[in-house]
Structure 1
Amino acid sequence: MNIKPQKVLYILIFGIIATIISPLLFTRNLFLDDFNFTNTGQIGDTIGGITSPIVSLIGAILVFFALQAQIEANNLIQKQFNEQKKSELENKELIKISEYYKYFLKNVDDFSRESEKTIGSFEYKRKEIISHRGRIALKFYLNDIIRYGARDVHDSNKVLKDPKSSQFYSILKSLEMFIDILESSKISKDDKLFYKNIIHPLFESTLKPNKIDLENVNVICECGDKHVRFPSLFLETYNILDEKIERI
């Protein structure tokens, strides 16, 4: 109920006018003798008896509006409190999501790969160990799997015995954990879309092998089929991540 100050003012003015007019009106001999109040006792008692109900009624109406205004004020305060609480919860959620995203990026940056590179020529030829970290190292690792194939691609336990494969798989799982937390959080849709637009290109460009390379390389697998010896565990995880990212 929206109480307008003009409405209260109109009621108050009406009450004042009615209080002034009613004694004059009811203490005069008007049209009918039944409404003649000139002989009803002391004039003060008559005026008080006439005006008291009017004043009480006006007072009751004003008290009602005052209580109604207080209720509206309390509702407004409660609404502001709820909105503030919701905002604080969203901020906490954003901080938590940000920490998980940093954890995922740290796993990416900690990934390393070493390779030999021949430099010089003839008698000056020598080999050097080149170390790569982060996204570049991940791309080299994926290219190595595509070029040379992985062992026991259908046996997840054997795949994870390789330290680099185990580290790579932990990166995929950290991304999956981040997506699960992001999807279940109560942050706004815009904030979720913001993180989706960040992680999707990173996932496609850094953590997944190039589809063209996968299609162009044919290696005989232990199972006898002619296909790229890429670990089934990774391919299954890719499918799970694709579905979860799409749902965000």
Structure 2
Amino acid sequence: MSKRHLLLLTGLVICCIGSVLFLSKPALHPFFDLSNSGPIGDTIGGITAPIINLVGAILVYISFKAQIAANKVQERAIDGERNRNRQQQNFSSSLKLLELCRKEFDDLTYKSGKNQIETGQDSLRQYINKLKTPNSDEVIHKTAYHLSLYASVNKLSMLMKRVSKLEMFKDDKIYLALLIQDFYYYSYGHYYGYLADAVEKRLAMLEKKLKNSVVDVKDLDYLTAESQLTLFRNIFLDLVTNFHELDSQIQEWQNERKN
């Protein structure tokens, strides 16, 4: 109850008590003589009833107003809790997606020859070497590896965009972005120059082989490989672009936290 409401209520109570005391005493003037107006109790009740009803109405109004204020406070608390839960869920789901990206990268498997099997970073290194090797069509037939590699790169690129757009606590967002940054350097960022150069060289080889040639079954393999590598080049360029945007945002978020 506010100070203004308390003063008003106190004044009304004093008026009620004062009216009873005033009306129950002998009249100071014939004008105030109520002895002929019926029983004194009925007279006092009739006079004070409107005041009491008014006090009751004011109390009801004050209680309703206090209840509305309490409801608003409760709604804000519930909205705040929902917002915190949503941000925590966004952070947890993004962490799980990052773990999935790591697992998919480590599970990349490149088979060369009968017994030579490379995984993770080693598979990517072997893939780059095969792309750059002239007169070697082994990499052309690695459709399964291509698909796994493209999916891994695309998923990491989407995760970078996700962190930038999703609502999270600032510290959680910075922490997650730094983890993604470290994984990028560990996986594709370390081989960015080599991989981009190898893809361009292989595309040039394929274009040269397909130029002025008669289309046969082998040429169809070349066409498929060319389209796959072109798609991968575009996806990989998106990944690099998203990484640079994320890197800039990390610096911006860290500066905001310092301020």
Shorter-chain TM-score: what band? 0.5 to 0.7
Q: Label 1:23 to 1:192 Cα distance change in 2 as closer, same or farther (>3 A).
A: same
After TM superposition, give the deviation of residue 194 of structure 1 in Å: 3.0
Establish whether residue 202 from structure 1 lines up as the match of residue 199 from structure 2.
no
* Equivalent residues in 2 for 1:115-194, closer than 5 Å: 132-134=118-120, 136-138=121-123, 140-141=125-126, 143-144=128-129, 147-148=132-133, 161-179=142-160, 181-182=162-163, 185-188=166-169, 190-194=171-175
1:111–1:133 CA contact under 8 A, matched in 2: yes
Cα separation, 2, equivalents of 1:19 and 1:142:
96
After TM superposition, give the deviation of residue 19 of structure 1 in Å: 1.0
Range moving further from structure 2, 180-189 or 38-47: 180-189
State percent identity of aligned pairs.
22
Q: Label 1:168 to 1:181 Cα distance change in 2 as closer, same or farther (>3 A).
A: same
Q: Structure 1: give runs of 5+ residues left out of the alignment.
A: 117-128, 153-157
Cα separation, 2, equivalents of 1:98 and 1:213:
27
> What letter is aligned with 1:232?
T
Cα separation, 2, equivalents of 1:149 and 1:192:
45
Counterpart position of 1:211: 193
Q: Label 1:150 to 1:137 Cα distance change in 2 as closer, same or farther (>3 A).
A: farther
RMSD: 4.0
Cα separation, 2, equivalents of 1:61 and 1:111:
75
2:118–2:126 CA contact under 8 A, matched in 1: no
The count of corresponding residues between Structure 1 and Structure 2 is: 219
Cα separation, 2, equivalents of 1:112 and 1:106:
12
1:104–1:174 CA contact under 8 A, matched in 2: yes
Q: Which has the higher helix share?
A: 2
Q: Structure 2: give runs of 5+ residues left out of the alignment.
A: 209-225, 250-259
After TM superposition, give the deviation of residue 174 of structure 1 in Å: 2.4
* Equivalent residues in 2 for 1:1-248, closer than 5 Å: 3-4=1-2, 6-25=3-22, 28-29=27-28, 36-39=31-34, 41-42=37-38, 43-113=40-110, 132-134=118-120, 136-138=121-123, 140-141=125-126, 143-144=128-129, 147-148=132-133, 161-179=142-160, 181-182=162-163, 185-188=166-169, 190-208=171-189, 209-211=191-193, 221-222=204-205, 223=207, 231-245=229-243, 246=245
